[in-house]
Amino acid sequence: MQAGDLNQVTAVEQSSAEHPWRAAHFADSLRSGYLCETARIDNRVVAHCVMMAAAGEASILILTVDKQHQRQGIGRRLLQHMIDLATRASCDTVLLEVRRSNDRAFNLYLSEGFSEIGIRKNYYPVGSGREDAIVMAMELTTFSFNLD
C-alpha cells in the first residue's frame, strides 16, 4: 500500500466494513511504518491489510476484502501473506481481534491456525450498542535441528 492507493483503499473500506476506517487511519499507518498491503485485480485494490510488528509480535489491525470479491480466497491469501511478513520480521506471534458476530472471518482464522485466546468485552461499536471482540493468536514456530 502506498499513499496513492488511499482513495481505492478507503472506497473498499467504506463499501465493505460496518464501521470503516477513514483515510487518515491508513495514512497514519503508512507514516508509522506499519506493514500495509493490498491485493489487486487488474490493478484495482480489492483488499487491504494493516499489521503492526514490534518486539517479536505482530498485530493485524484490519483486513478487509471488497464485498464483490469476498469468498474467492483473496482474504485467505492476503492473510497468509501477512503471516509470511510477520515471520520474516522475526515475530513469534501474530495477534488479531474479530467481531463475535463475524463467523466467516473467525472460521477463516481458525482454519489458518489461529486460536482463541480471550475476549475483549464491548470492544466494537454495533448499531446503538457494543459487541465483544474475540482475541486470536497464532504462534509462529521456527524449527532447527541439530544433526550431530
d(CA 99, CA 59): 15
Q: Is residue 74 part of a domain?
A: yes
Q: Which three cell numbers stand for residue 27?
A: 495514512
Angle at 110 between CA 44 and CA 28, to 5 degrees: 45
- Average pLDDT of every residue of the chain: 93
Catalytic residue among 109, 112, 124, 139: 109
- Is residue 97 annotated as part of the catalytic site, yes or no? yes
Q: Is residue 148 part of a domain?
A: no
d(CA 46, CA 94): 23
Q: Is the pLDDT of residue 55 over 80?
A: yes
Q: Is residue 31 part of a domain?
A: yes
How many structural domains comprise the chain? 1
d(CA 121, CA 72): 31
Q: Is residue 29 part of a domain?
A: yes
| Amino acid 144: pLDDT | 53
What is the identity of the amino acid at 119? I
CATH code of the domain in which 109 resides: 3.40.630.30
Catalytic residue among 13, 34, 97, 124: 97
- Is residue 34 annotated as part of the catalytic site, yes or no? no
Q: Is residue 26 part of a domain?
A: yes
Q: How many CB atoms lie within 10 A of CB 69?
A: 17
Structural domain including 56 reads 3-139
Q: Is the pLDDT of residue 145 over 60?
A: no
pLDDT in tens, 4-48: 999 999 999 999 988 899 999 999 999 999 999 999 999 999 999
